[in-house]
Structure 1
Amino acid sequence: MDTITARTIHLLTALALFAAGSGALVACGEVKAEGPDVRAAEPAPKSKARARQVAAAWDGSAAAAAWRKGYYPMEETVQLPEHAFRTDADKRAYTTHSFVLRGQLPTGSPKNGQVKWESGGSLTLPVTGARTAYETLANGGDKGSHLTVTGAKLGTTTLATSRGPATVPAWLFTLKGYDTPLKQVALRPSKLPAPPIKPAAEVPGDDLWPLDHLVEAAADGRSVTVMAQHGACDDGAAVNVLETGGSVVLYASITGEKDGACTAQMLSQKVTVKLHRPIGDRILLDAFTGRPVPYGERHGRSPSWS
């Protein structure tokens, strides 16, 4: 990588704070800047070359074969009741994981459950118990505003995965004041296969930066939206794409530079990248890490497979 600039040092400081935990992130002043629908810039030659290396390593690899056989959620695995939330207090309670249990949770459940894909095929995985699922939701305590859980039963739900839409087991939690349940998927993702390529470097540089996470893929598969990071003294993040028959490699960078003092502040920007053809079963990869782009925020409710 090129010599690290002062701006990159500020970004790395912010990234270190971010990795240390959500408390540190708030301390350094998180800002989520909404970017335009499509954000791209002329990529550095090294960045594009790295994207080609990542695509070549994954396409046709044992890791890619394992990925296509596994269960990897690509959207939030907690699904809200219809018309949620009734009040700002309820929304705040959900955001802060504030729940109270006023009922009995099932003590037994099937040992295993099945992922069933709309396109065909299935996969059997261990079922997470109701108590474990509840504790994932309710790890913020019950002080102040809270949501009240009155019971739960095992059912199913559908969600997007790396292999397309699937029906999966889910715990259906009844909430006081709501006619439909809050659903929590009752399966953990498959283990991520060992990537066939190492990260680009120990630390990022302006011309190649790791992505934070996938927000969503468009219903028609012709675009993906990701959260990309940048600092307080630049023009924002840019995300370019390299498409092959087996993969879609995104490579992010930091654009522009502003004069003056720069705070160690990490900003998150939503970026939508258009594709030449639907993503289909191609693997969405991050050029910097050499790994699939994870879904969901750090410290979020959805268990990470990254």
Structure 2
Amino acid sequence: MNTHVNRLAGLMLVPLLGACLLAGCGDGQSAGDARTDSKSQEKRAREVADAWHGSAAAVAWSRGYYPLGDTTQPPESGWHSDADKRAFESGTIVRSGKLPTTAVTQGTVKWRSGSTLNRPVVDPNRAYQSFGHYSGKGPRLTVTGVKLGETTITTSRGTATVPAWLFSLDGYDSPLKHVAVTPSKLPEPPAVRAPQGSTDGLWSVAELAGTAADGRSLTVRATHGACDDGPVVNVLETDESVVLYASVTGARSGACTAQIIQQDVQVELRQPLADRVVLDALTAQPVPYGG
């Protein structure tokens, strides 16, 4: 499996007790041990794939609404400047006044196949707080109003038209869109979660960060510690699922700071992703998009 580190996606450092154990500090793993670990990890991935096949979780996944694209979308006209783009990426977005509340409680997700699903609608104030969460110094965008409309988004069942809050921005003719309906609850995995670090060095895949236009590669955020050279993500493909099994490379002996780091890794697929579910071998759950 050809994988490579793409770029650091803003290091997320989370204090943990015993992170040296999690990072495998002092393991002194030999090449033979690494081969054994790889076989054990692939076996775990196969167990997860087999458990998913025909399960209640697979049925729930096929019937639910699970976004696989950004739920906050920039204006269609594009950003006027790099400063505005930076303000959006940092969440430096303020309101010129109080946003209205809504009496709408349900919205309909519509797929191209003709299938529909009703989902709860998020209040526009709560939607705003999900992307306008920083009001520090520097460039900023200003929301001047909001109304309910629609947008399209990639989901686990293909492209769907969904209700969206259309936030007017000062100086822009097209709105900032934010999906107004909540995703379905992730189904309970049919396989039991493996404890972190217990399955021959298996680590978690935190989230799906993107899918190539042709569906033949994924960008995922994998976790590792401060005493190694970074994550490695392998994949087991079946007709129904893409199971990712992650580990770390270059674990070193000695003192290790207590932190978990997320890093972008690109994973190549033999076949386009299409409507297959992406599963994490450690948790046995679908890998969420954007956390």
Work out which of the residue numbers 109, 112, 122 in structure 2 matches 1:118.
112
Alignment of 1:50-89 (within 5 A): 50-81=44-75, 82-84=77-79, 86-88=81-83
Partner deviation per Cα, 1:197-244 (whole Å, 9 max, x = no partner): 111125456631001110112222222111112234333211111111
Q: 1:99 aligns with which of 81, 85, 93?
A: 93
Are the equivalent residues in 2 in contact too, given 1:74–1:162 (CA < 8 A)?
yes
Change (3 A) 1:59 1:257: same
Hey, what's the Cα distance between the residues in 2 that align with 1:215 and 1:223?
11
Q: How far apart are the structure 2 equivalents of 1:148 and 1:142?
A: 13
**Does structure 1 residue 108 correspond to structure 2 residue 127?**
no
Q: 2-side partners of 1:74 and 1:18: how far apart?
A: 29
Query: Which residue does the alignment assign to 1:154?
Result: 148
In the alignment, what sits opposite 1:250?
244
- Extract unaligned runs of 5+ from structure 2: 1-11, 18-33
Distance 2:128 2:232 in 1: 39
Q: Does 1:174 align with 2:174?
A: no
Residue of structure 1 in register with 2:15 after alignment: 17
Of 255-264 and 180-189, more deviation after overlay is shown by 255-264
CA-to-aligned-CA distance 1:160-192 (integer Å, 9 cap, x gap):
111111111101101112222110100000111
Query: Cα gap change, 1:142/1:99 in structure 2, threshold over 3 Å: closer, same or farther?
Result: farther
Output the amino acid matched with 2:67.
P
Instruction: Give the alignment partner of residue 289 of structure 1, picking from 270, 278, 283.
Output: 283
TM-score (norm 2): 0.80
Is 1:240 matched up with 2:234?
yes
Work out the CA distance in 2 between the residues paired with 1:170 and 1:74.
Answer: 16
The root-mean-square deviation of aligned C-alpha atoms, in Å, is 2.6
Paired AA for residue 172 in structure 1 = L
Secondary structure at the residue paired with 1:214? strand
Task: Output the CA distance in 2 between the equivalents of 1:267 and 1:205.
Answer: 19
Match of 1:224 among 200, 215, 218: 218
Does 210-219 or 182-191 show the bigger shift? 210-219
* Cα deviation digits, residues 71-109 of structure 1 (max 9, x gap): 011122001123226243x34443443333225644435
Distance (Å, rounded) in 2 between the aligned partners of 1:146 and 1:50: 47
Q: Scaled by the length of structure 1, what TM-score is found?
A: 0.76
What secondary structure, in the 3-state scheme, does the structure 2 residue paired with 1:131 have?
A: helix
Structure 2 residue 128 is the aligned partner of structure 1 residue 130: no
- Gap change, CA 1:287 and 1:175, over 3 Å in 2: same
User: Percent identity of the aligned residues?
Assistant: 54
Which letter does structure 2 place at the counterpart of 1:17? Answer: P
- Partners of 1:201 and 1:18 in 2: how far apart? 15
Q: Show structure 1 runs of 5+ residues with no match.
A: 1-13, 20-40, 298-306
For 1:67, the aligned partner's letter is W
Aligned residue in 2 for 1:25 = none
Return closer, same or farther for 1:97/1:225 CA change in 2, 3 Å cut-off: closer
Shifted more, 220-229 versus 143-152: the winner is: 143-152
Match 1:46 to one of 40, 57, 79: 40
Alignment correspondent of 1:30:
none
Contact 1:217 1:225 in 2 (8 A): yes
Is 1:150–1:174's contact at 8 Å kept on the other side of the alignment?
yes
Q: Note closer, same or farther for the CA distance 1:108–1:256 as it changes in structure 2 (3 Å cut).
A: closer
Answer yes or no: is the 8 Å Cα contact 1:109–1:127 preserved in 2.
no
Taking the aligned partners of 2:290 and 2:13, their CA distance within structure 1 comes to 17
Q: Which moved more, 1:67-76 or 1:197-206?
A: 197-206
Secondary structure of 1:120's counterpart equals coil
Aligned residue identity for 1:221:
G
Tell me if structure 2 keeps the 8 A contact 1:100–1:142: no
